[in-house]
Structure 1
Amino acid sequence: MALNRYSGMQEGMPNSFSSMLDRFFNESVNSKNVSGFTPHVDACETEKSYEIEVALPGVRKENINIDFHEGRLTITGERSLEKKEEGRRYHMLETQYGSFSRTFYLPDKVSPDKISAHLEDGVLMVTVPKDEHKTMRRQINISSANDNKNKGSEGKASEGKGNVAVESGKSKK
């Protein structure tokens, strides 16, 4: 008995042009000749960090490499087919094997020395904390030539409405 993949096709003919394209791309992308794959990723931003979840079932942490360089976070690795048993002949092999690489471009406001990664149940979770010093909001004073003349005549800076002190990212008047 042979196991055949059900594709919804009557006698091998597509029902529509769309299903014909789906069949073409699915069969060509999932062929055994492909030497790599692209894992699925969920990426989000929180108030304090960027979080990247990568679906890597069957991949050991020893086979994963995470690199951060010039604002680029690159996750590379490999999932190899280790099911080579005598007397076993596959009729269907939909799991993707081979090497993979995913690169994410992050803004300048991250702390690369605090990036962490955790692999559990086939999901790699990478947390990239934001750098609080770079994300701080500040109010900037605008000075003019008149302000400098007033400073010189009084001997000290005036404490009027125009001056704003910045303390830990929050402005005070």
Structure 2
Amino acid sequence: MALTPFFGRRSGSVFDPLSLDNAWDPFHNLRLWDPFEEYSSLGLTPSRQFAQDVAAVANTQVDWLETPDAHVFKVNLPGLRKEEIKVQVVDNNVLQISGARKKENVEQTDRWHRVERASGSFFRSFRLPAHAQVNDLKAQVENGVLTINVPKLPQPTSANVKSITIS
């Protein structure tokens, strides 16, 4: 049993103001915003490699922990060897982590049931605070987790303060 009034009329996908069927559907004429619409009209649609790179960056999770002595970054990079990862410090205050996940070779006789692991290059950067000591940075990979330890500069000790009496 339909709940729409019998006196409304429907005219296909065109909105008919006399049709009460459209009044019951608030999303009938809704047009969603497409961020790539202006590029597709110019023939500039994102490439498959761009989409893979976006997925690889989105799937590269980073934890940043600040301890009293250091800043510690932990990056999930399962399946990557240390030779495939690049860690750099640019301009003495930007930590850059990059690398690439390679696509597996597929034989013509293979039949994939599901592909969820992203392949492609990834790049993450972090602006380090002024008290980071980038010259003593240490990085290591263990069990698919890259750990980067950025020590802090020693805090200046409080200076001897002498009160002066104002006369």
Q: Give the letter for the 2:86 counterpart.
A: N
Corresponding residue of 1:20:
none
1:51 aligns with 2:64: no
Change in CA separation of 1:140 and 1:102 when aligned onto 2, cut-off 3 Å: farther
Percent identity of equivalent pairs: 34
For structure 1, which runs of at least 5 residues remain unmatched after alignment?
1-16, 18-31, 142-160, 164-173
Equivalence map 1:1-173=2 (5 Å): 34-36=51-53, 37-38=56-57, 39-70=60-91, 71-132=93-154, 135-139=155-159, 161-162=162-163
Query: What is the alpha-carbon root mean square deviation over aligned residues?
Result: 2.1
1:72-125 CA distances to partner (integer Å, 9 max, x unpaired)? 000010010124234112232100110000001111111111100010110000
2:83 & 2:106 partners in 1: Cα distance?
21
For structure 2, which runs of at least 5 residues remain unmatched after alignment?
1-26, 28-47
Q: Give the letter for the 2:111 counterpart.
A: R
Please give the secondary structure, in 2, of the residue aligned with 1:35.
helix
2:76 & 2:153 partners in 1: Cα distance?
27
Corresponding residue of 1:10:
none
1:109 & 1:42 partners in 2: Cα distance?
19
Under a length normalisation based on structure 1, what TM-score does the superposition of the two structures give? Answer: 0.59
Q: Give the letter for the 2:158 counterpart.
A: R
Alignment length (residue pairs): 112
